[in-house]
Structure 1
Amino acid sequence: MPSRNSVPLLALCLIASVGIPAISHAKNENHDNHLSNKQKSIIPIAAFTANGDTAKLKSALVQGLENGMTINEIKEVIVQMYAYAGFPRSLTGLDTFLAVLEDRKGRGIRDEIGKDATPLPAGASIRDLGTAVQTRIVGRPVRGPVYEFAPIIDTFLKEHLFGDIFGRDVLDLQERELATVAALASLPAEPQLRSHLNVCMNVGLTEPQMRAFVSILDAEVGKDEAERSERLLDAVVQSRQQAK
């Protein structure tokens, strides 16, 4: 892990370097209307990890594996959830996933491990990396009264959430944002959910794809989560149209 005290690099250099997650262009392959099987699978995995429903999580994990997700991709979703739902939910999710894998192994099923995160460039500053990722997905530098009131939360967000976690390239930025909004819809955390629904569109997910996200919540997670997300998505879409 790069040192937090190392010499900072330019944000653009960090974004261009290996190890920085990309904005996926899977939407082009899906004609801008559909989510990929992996994207669909991430939604219930994240939601059930965040809300602690281990019975439904087991089924979602199996479906994710059957849809072609690798072990490391699923682990990455579950680990990311601790930033939103805490270590207990994330650790329980990992225990649940381990049990699913052991059961499948016992039945002769060998699931693909997949790639691990690419090491960051030597000497990279985790603060600069996290700031670059955060600015990229939000579309502007992030400031505000809450960060002045509690500056340490700004440090944790930039260095840990967007640097240590989002800076890992096992998942791309669209996949991480789908995991994030699924978790926030399930907690629930409405102000953050609205913000990240907007970020989903900043990183290239289309309105039809976000409508598909809501449909998956409705079919696989819960009607409350779906209605909450649809209401906030409507507000985000309207706001973006007015800003054009």
Structure 2
Amino acid sequence: MTIERTLDAKQTAIPAISAATAVGDMARLNAALNEGLDAGLSVSDAKEILVQMYAYTGFPRSLNALGELMKVVETRKQRGMTDAPGREPGTVPTGKDLLDLGTANQTKLSGGAVKGPLFEFAPAIDTFLKAHLFGDIFARDNLDWKSRELATVGALSAITGVESQLQAHVRISMNIGLTPAALHDAADALDRGGFPDAAKRARAAVEKQLASE
């Protein structure tokens, strides 16, 4: 029986890559990376996903995952497999221009200006989010925003205790055009990748978002 999916093969591979990174499961990450490269992710795509993960899972997880990607790429080369290198990102602005761009990106992704008592209490984190996460990272144009959000949802679904952040990124995903069906596809990919609890959290977040609309 043919299963109709709304994500393409490359997009479908992303959630398991980020989930495995989030929990530090190198065996599952190895499998997910191979699946993603087989599906057509470039080496640059895979690197960019794992670089972005440091903002959500921390430097140690991201660095370990990048090390695993290096092993995967080398092993595939030794087996005679050729993976597309992909492209490097374009130039990202600096200084005030970067902060302005990051603020604009955050506003577009979120569907409105992001503010609140937390950011007034700790304005530094607001600046870091705007200038670095939504500026330095989301301004890098070698990975599209839908792919970045699939990676983020996959990672946050795999981590316990971050339900509000997962909910926010499910909302962002829908704001930028990922449909509920696509997000359910992402949850199914988490299931197939060996992350059933993450899949349940992802589905619950989608249903909660739909109920709030």
Place the TM-score, normalised by the shorter chain, in its bin.
over 0.9
Larger radius of gyration: 1
- The question of 1:227 aligning with 2:197 is answered no
- The question of 1:204 aligning with 2:167 is answered no
- Counterpart CA distance in 2 for 1:206 and 1:181 is 13
Q: Any stretches of 5+ residues in structure 2 without a counterpart?
A: none
Q: What's 1:183 paired with?
A: 155
- Counterpart CA distance in 2 for 1:182 and 1:123 is 31
Q: What's 1:79 paired with?
A: 51
Equivalent of 1:43 in 15, 23, 34: 15
| Runs (4+) off by over 6 Å | 121-124
Q: Is the 8 A contact 1:197 1:236 kept in 2?
A: yes
- Counterpart CA distance in 2 for 1:99 and 1:183 is 21
Equivalent of 2:136 in 164, 174, 191: 164
Change (3 A) 1:33 1:104: closer
Structure 1 residue 216, shift from structure 2 partner: 1.4
Q: What's 2:91 paired with?
A: 119
- Counterpart CA distance in 2 for 1:120 and 1:77 is 17
- TM-score, normalised by the number of residues in structure 1: 0.82
Computed over aligned residues only, the root mean square deviation of the Cα atoms, in angstroms, reads: 1.6
Equivalent of 1:57 in 17, 22, 29: 29
- TM-score, normalised by the number of residues in structure 2: 0.94
Change (3 A) 1:121 1:195: closer
Structure 1 residue 63, shift from structure 2 partner: 0.7
Number of matched residues? 209
Structure 1 residue 207, shift from structure 2 partner: 1.3
Equivalent of 2:166 in 169, 193, 197: 193
- The question of 1:151 aligning with 2:123 is answered yes
Relative contact order, CA 8 A, sep 6+: which one is greater? 1
Higher helix share: 2
- Counterpart CA distance in 2 for 1:117 and 1:50 is 24
Kindly provide the amino acid, as one letter, of the partner of residue 104 in structure 1.
Answer: R
Determine what percentage of the aligned residue pairs are the same residue.
46
- Counterpart CA distance in 1 for 2:154 and 2:190 is 8
Q: Is the 8 A contact 1:194 1:236 kept in 2?
A: yes
Q: Is the 8 A contact 1:43 1:216 kept in 2?
A: yes
- The question of 1:236 aligning with 2:209 is answered yes
- Counterpart CA distance in 2 for 1:204 and 1:36 is 14
Change (3 A) 1:116 1:124: farther
- Counterpart CA distance in 1 for 2:151 and 2:174 is 14
